[in-house]
Structure 1
Amino acid sequence: MKKIGFLSFGHWTPSPRSQVRSASDALLQSIELAVAAEEVGADGAYFRVHHFARQLASPFPLLAAVGARTSRIEIGTGVIDMRYENPLYMAEDAGSADLIAGGRLQLGISRGAPEQVIKGYEYFGHRPAEGTTDADMAREHTATLLDVLKGEGFAEPNPQPMFPNPPGLLRIEPHSPGLRDRIWWGAGTRATATWAGEQGMNLMSSTLLTEDTGVPFHQLQAEQIQLFQEAWQAAGHAREPRVSVSRSIFPIVSELDHQLFGRETASTDKVGYLDEGLARFGKTYAAEPDKLARDLAQDEAVAAADTLLLTVPNQLGVDYNAHVLDSLLRYVAPELGWR
């Protein structure tokens, strides 16, 4: 069994060609797509976080709403940019959303992607300490988050509080037991995947790697996964780690599918520059179900991961994206032994 979910960026634009024309549309349709995904048998609803963009941004109200409207699927992020976060406030928000969802939150975090604005995190009140980088700051915020999610007291109580305190030092409330083990690090390189394994976070790897060695994307990503698992084992963590990979996958089972994605049947990896360095982008998978199953069976990273997230074109609307999920689950997943 492989867990299969979707990952939405929550794009919106006032264009008449878009089914998602406002921030309200993006949020409400995200909830409806999660409900539809659960109904067709998918396992997860994940959302990308981008600041200063016409996309989904503040994730926790959305995650809480999805948690309240669903009962089974995992809900998560892919990923939250930790440069922007107050980790203690984030722990409160995450604990609340997880409790509303009954312990289904899978929280993907990372250093973040290239931004819409220059040093956007500074507008949120966060600046790297002298002699450190924004990536260092993201890891510091992450370390604090992971620490407080353990649920141990650390804050000295007021001797004359407004309300009675439990004995000892106080912790962040509400605390959701088990959430610490459901934190994922979005790794763009083999080195950051190794670091994630050392820290005891699950691995989340997308359709983009910010390095290139000349091998196909899926092989480079499979190497990343192997290094993560080796680092996890060497660190001696007690539980089994989880790994997710994202893919753009479109089973062609209707004339509309062919019109929209038929041109992607010859898609290949792409190599370009991102953040002033080489990056490799994974291809789009689009084909009739039998060929799609054969192609996906050759993807080494998909085979190595326990979770597959479909990056959905959310501007095509809830009904079409639910159709894409249903087509994959109905026609392709059984051929690969995932269902």
Structure 2
Amino acid sequence: MPPPDRPLRRMGFLTIGLFDPADPRGGHEATLDLIALGEELGFDSAWLRHRHLQHGISSPVAVLAAASQRTRRIALGTAVTPLAWENPLRLAEDLATVDVLSGGRLNPGVSVGPPMRWDVVKDALYPATADVEDFSYERVRRLVDHVRGVPVTDAPVTVGAEEFSDRVQPHSPGLADRLWYGGGSMRSARWAGENGLNLLTSSVITLGPDDPVDFAQVQAAQVRAFRDAHPAGPAARVSQGLVVIPTDSATPDQRERYTAYAAGRLPRTRAPQGPAGLLFAPDLVGTSEELAAQLHAHAGFREVDEVAFALPFTFEHADYVQILTDMATRLGPALGWSPAS
């Protein structure tokens, strides 16, 4: 196998944290166990995805607070928090609190735009202000300012016997440098770069009118545009989040299920989907040697040195243990990665 263009420097994983609605604690505990396993295996990061009004983790920040007390090293991230569901000031307080508790390990990833199923949820979310809520990049700017400690009020800091701060508390220095924007379009990639954020890419992108129907090539172009716009240039951080499933130690039943899972999702990768023109990346399934060859040939992967491989959402806990173990012991080293001590 030819050497990679650049060794993989950081490897993480992303999970949705599914649970049985009749036993939600069991699913949440299983997610915490996976994060602890990830640290034991040497992963650099573990990421949680929001799922509102579904049977997946709806409050990743709360779960990561728990994870921060069961781990000591692994970075903890959200990929991503849809800001349309959040008040930026209140979210900044929660993020800073968890960052303090974790010893500076939190990596919040965010995105903007109206909530999914907006017509169904808007009256519950914003019963009086739905028509005037701003779901643009300005919502991210507000969060960034709050995390950086920009004053939120010029009111007196002492009222009677009580003292008040003019900025979000607690303030966690360094957290602003670990804010990520989850972008899948050229516009989002450039905006994240111009505003000095880190960039989370995933297995879905938005095609522009002149883009080829080639996921890897378009994603690579977005990463280059992000770095061209970023003050840090080539050193700006980008993490890729493809679905990658190693089968080295999988049982015959697991390999069969993994292959069927990827095959069932393959048709959506052949053409843009929906009015937004979304293009999905194929899920990669195979031995670590096979996966490393595919990733080294992937134009988007060749632009990054950090990944947060996405775990399939519907597998069993034992499947995740096998997949993470193969990633850490076989796939990662084949990509030039070394586990953290």
* Interval containing the TM-score (normalised by the shorter chain): 0.7 to 0.9
Q: Residues 35 and 70 of structure 1 are in contact (CA less than 8 Å); yes or no, is this contact kept in structure 2?
A: yes
- Matches of 1:328 and 1:316 in 2, distance apart? 16
Residue 86 of structure 1, CA deviation: 0.8
Pair 9,271 (structure 1): closer, same or farther in 2 beyond 3 Å: farther
- Matches of 2:332 and 2:238 in 1, distance apart? 18
Residue 33 of structure 1, CA deviation: 0.7
Residue 313 of structure 1, CA deviation: 2.8
Q: Which residue pairs with 2:305 in the alignment?
A: 306
Pair 310,161 (structure 1): closer, same or farther in 2 beyond 3 Å: farther
Residue 238 of structure 1, CA deviation: 8.9
Q: Residues 113 and 135 of structure 2 are in contact (CA less than 8 Å); yes or no, is this contact kept in structure 1?
A: no
- Matches of 2:195 and 2:178 in 1, distance apart? 13
Matched, 1:10 2:6: no
Pair 121,230 (structure 1): closer, same or farther in 2 beyond 3 Å: farther
Residue 315 of structure 1, CA deviation: 4.1
Q: Which residue pairs with 2:257 in the alignment?
A: 260
Pair 144,122 (structure 1): closer, same or farther in 2 beyond 3 Å: farther
1:271-329: per-residue Cα shift (whole Å, max 9, x none)?
2423x221110001111222222111101212212321121135433332122012122
- Matches of 1:164 and 1:114 in 2, distance apart? 37
Q: Which residue pairs with 1:273 in the alignment?
A: 273
Structure 2: tracts of 5 or more residues without a match: 1-7
- Matches of 1:281 and 1:198 in 2, distance apart? 26
- Matches of 1:118 and 1:102 in 2, distance apart? 40
1:105-142: per-residue Cα shift (whole Å, max 9, x none)?
01000015861452635522384665xxx6x5242221
Structure 1: tracts of 5 or more residues without a match: 15-20
Q: Say which SS state the counterpart of residue 261 (structure 1) adopts.
A: helix
Matched, 1:241 2:236: yes
Q: Residues 84 and 115 of structure 2 are in contact (CA less than 8 Å); yes or no, is this contact kept in structure 1?
A: no
Q: Which residue pairs with 1:26 in the alignment?
A: 27
Q: Say which SS state the counterpart of residue 135 (structure 2) adopts.
A: helix
Q: Which residue pairs with 1:18 in the alignment?
A: none
Residue 27 of structure 1, CA deviation: 1.8
Pair 245,239 (structure 1): closer, same or farther in 2 beyond 3 Å: closer
Q: Say which SS state the counterpart of residue 316 (structure 1) adopts.
A: coil
Cα-Cα RMSD: 2.5
1:20-58: per-residue Cα shift (whole Å, max 9, x none)?
x64323322111110011111111110111222222112
Pair 112,270 (structure 1): closer, same or farther in 2 beyond 3 Å: farther
- Matches of 2:201 and 2:120 in 1, distance apart? 24
Pair 312,273 (structure 1): closer, same or farther in 2 beyond 3 Å: same
Q: Say which SS state the counterpart of residue 243 (structure 2) adopts.
A: strand
Pair 95,239 (structure 1): closer, same or farther in 2 beyond 3 Å: farther
Q: Say which SS state the counterpart of residue 308 (structure 1) adopts.
A: strand
Q: Which residue pairs with 2:57 in the alignment?
A: 56
Q: Say which SS state the counterpart of residue 149 (structure 1) adopts.
A: helix
Residue 338 of structure 1, CA deviation: 2.2
- Matches of 1:114 and 1:128 in 2, distance apart? 11
- Matches of 2:130 and 2:257 in 1, distance apart? 44
Percent of paired sites with the same residue: 29
Q: Which residue pairs with 2:324 in the alignment?
A: 325
Matched, 1:334 2:333: yes
Q: Residues 82 and 138 of structure 1 are in contact (CA less than 8 Å); yes or no, is this contact kept in structure 2?
A: no
Q: Which residue pairs with 1:70 in the alignment?
A: 71
1:204-248: per-residue Cα shift (whole Å, max 9, x none)?
11100122622421111111100000011xxx3599421011111
Q: How many residues align?
A: 322
Length-normalised TM-score, structure 2: 0.86
Q: Which residue pairs with 1:209 in the alignment?
A: 205
- Matches of 1:44 and 1:195 in 2, distance apart? 25
Q: Say which SS state the counterpart of residue 271 (structure 1) adopts.
A: coil
Q: Which residue pairs with 2:174 in the alignment?
A: 178
1:67-102: per-residue Cα shift (whole Å, max 9, x none)?
111111110111111112111111110000111111
Matched residue type, 2:278: A
Pair 239,262 (structure 1): closer, same or farther in 2 beyond 3 Å: closer
Pair 277,150 (structure 1): closer, same or farther in 2 beyond 3 Å: closer
Q: Residues 51 and 116 of structure 1 are in contact (CA less than 8 Å); yes or no, is this contact kept in structure 2?
A: no
